[in-house]
Amino acid sequence: MYENDRDFIKKVKEIKNHWNGDIFGYTHETFLFWSDKMYFFSKIYHTTKPFDIIDITDDIKKFISDHACKDWLVNIFTRHTTAILKINEAEEWFRNDLKVWCDKNVSIDEIYRHNDLEHRDPKTMCKNKEECLNGHAHIRGMLIGNTSETIPVHKWKLMFGRRQRVLLFELDHAREREIIFSFMGD
């Protein structure tokens, strides 16, 4: 994930400065911050393929259990424009139907001006040109997704419907995705 410990320490300092809070603990993939009546938990997920879907619900439940979050609100936020969060069923055929719909309606094979690197604003360019050829992923994100979801917690339980789960959708290609969990309450 990080090429060396110096890169990792730089990331810890960057996150600490961004959140302006205290770091309770961290590993190479997880950061935990506290600020007054709010906890921040950052976790790196590794997507493995285009249109990967990762169920992150159990990570939220574990945090609630570990930190005695009785009556709170939890907000889950992705720091990316081509990865989205949705609350839905984690059922395999739903995933397949959504992928088929996306492939039909927002095909990777279409021509997108976003992918025209000769005319694109250099300030929006990626370091790797292949990463920039993802107009389809941005449009899919705008049509089907959110960058965040908020869920009430009551008596240490997420107030979900029977089959609801929090899903992270990779709309581009395999990579690391950072998700910020924030918990607000007494």
- pLDDT over 90, % of the chain: 53
In a domain, 14, yes or no: no
Residues in the chain: 186
Give the model's pLDDT for residue 33.
Answer: 55
In a domain, 157, yes or no: yes
Angle at the Cα of 174 (from 4 to 92), degrees rounded to 5?
A: 135
Q: Give me the mean pLDDT over the 44-53 stretch.
A: 94
In a domain, 20, yes or no: no
Question: Phi-psi region for residue 101, left (φ > 0), alpha (ψ -120 to 50) or beta?
Answer: alpha
In a domain, 25, yes or no: no
Domain that holds residue 148: 37-185
In a domain, 13, yes or no: no
Would you say residue 104 has pLDDT above 60? yes
For position 101, which CATH number holds? 2.60.120.460
Whole-number Cα distances in Å, 117 to 41, 81, 106, 122, 164: 36, 18, 20, 8, 40
In a domain, 26, yes or no: no
Give the model's pLDDT for residue 127.
Answer: 77
In a domain, 109, yes or no: yes
Is the pTM value of this prediction over 0.85? no
In a domain, 132, yes or no: yes
Comparison of pLDDT for 46 and 63, the residue scoring more = 46
Give the model's pLDDT for residue 39.
Answer: 77
Domain count of the fold of the chain:
1
Among the listed residues 90, 1, 103, 93, the one whose alpha carbon sits nearest the alpha carbon of residue 51: 103
